[in-house]
Structure 1
Amino acid sequence: MGQLDEITTLIWGHRTEKPDPNVWNIGPSAREQTAGHWSSLRHAINYAIGMQADREREGLHPWIRTPQGHVYSPTTIEAMAAAMLDPRERPSTLAAARDAVPAPRLAPDRFLRVARAE
């Protein structure tokens, strides 16, 4: 893994409240760790989606901070996972596990017809 300023950080917290800046730190021992470090945004998202069902039972949701300082909420992480992960990698229960309304899925030609009509 790269230098500390080149890593992506994943933490688990409240679904809608942005985490306190102090929780992004990682302690020297496993007992003091409040965050996990990943070599890329894709790796962090993949892990977060894989662990999401287990962590949601505990009331925890993923938050990711990139080396550039961008902070991604659980909803954004889910949207990014849907866009970037191969369909075989996506948990089939992702949308069913929530009360959220799923985003409409348009075929590219349907999207173009809608865009041209507006």
Structure 2
Amino acid sequence: QSRVASVDLEIGGQLIKKGDYCHFIIGAANRDPARYTEPDSFIVDREDLGHSSFGHGIHFCIGAPLARLETKTLLQVLLERAPKLRVVQDEINYPQLFAVRKPLQLLVENN
């Protein structure tokens, strides 16, 4: 979501002047290699370092508990029905999207 700078400031060597429009890509924060080891890898048992996927404070997503429950249920049922599920492609390609990161396709098999 875009915001307007209320004062002149510098972030990471980039000057932002009062009145400039700024757009924050919150999802990119979850892929910061300075904070997360292998940020582009899906590591199920990764140490919980906190993330910004559902926002924070007054802007925290009201649907977050439901999303977590749906994801947990989906993974439990999927792994019960396909216990030997595995990815069968060597490389996973991602489109160049502005706000989301998702694979173009994910080929799997259940032996």
Q: Which has the higher contact order (CA 8 A, sep 6+)?
A: 1
- Whose Rg is larger? 2
Same fold (TM over 0.5): no
**TM norm structure 2:** 0.24
